[in-house]
Amino acid sequence: MVVTTASRSAGAVYKHSFHINFPRVGFINNHGALRTFARHLSSLDALQAMSANFQPMALIDTLVYSRNQNTRIIESWKHNPRPTKEMALEFFPSRLHTMESLLQTLVTNVLNVTHWTREAQEQDNDAVLNMRSLLHTAGLDGVGGTTELVSHHIFLCPYTGQRVSDQRSTLKTECNQGIWHIKCSHDACKKSGTTIT
């Protein structure tokens, strides 16, 4: 478990802010099963508190679990015209910042994931889980999809290494005699006929 914090004084109050990352547990995105889990936790009596205005509030902020929410890494801070050192995300408890520790806070670094959490629509689809495992083995992490078409969110094509204009691309997957073949929709890849096996 990796815990980071940006807790600091904010005007007349002290703002408590903690981020918890479990590097061995993987979610395909942050607005599906992960958001459902966070909303469940935020409803628990043990995780309720009082706000600075003495209003009841949950200790877990569920608004961050959305399609458009970026996840902060160590030493980063939210946009502010006058940033201060206290705004930067730090380890809790404090420890030396190394490249290895930075990668521990990068949620798209899934090399240590040992358990992928199924999304609701995938509960009975073992083919999706098998495909995801094979894509992970091929080094195409951050990929989600169905049994035939896969959407990924990378800016470099895994086949040509060229920058792609679209943030979302389509991969077609086929499995012949237990061997997976993957093709993408980029024009350069179609022309070259490149596949990953």
For residue 81, cis peptide bond before it (omega within 30 degrees of 0): no
What b/e string do you get for 89-127 counting C-beta neighbours within 10 Å, with b at 16 or more? Answer: bbbeeeeeeeeebeebbebeebeebeebebbeebeeeee
Residue 44: partners with Cβ closer than 8 Å, 6 or more residues away: none
pLDDT confidence bin for 104, thresholds 50/70/90: confident
Please provide the average confidence, as pLDDT, over all residues in the chain.
76
The one-letter code for the residue type at 114 is T
Give the model confidence (pLDDT) of 143-178 as tens digits.
444 444 444 444 456 555 555 555 455 666 666 776
**What tokens appear for 62 in the block?**
């569920």
Where in the chain are the domains? 2-104, 121-192
In this prediction the pTM is 0.58
CB 143 within 8 A of CB 170: no
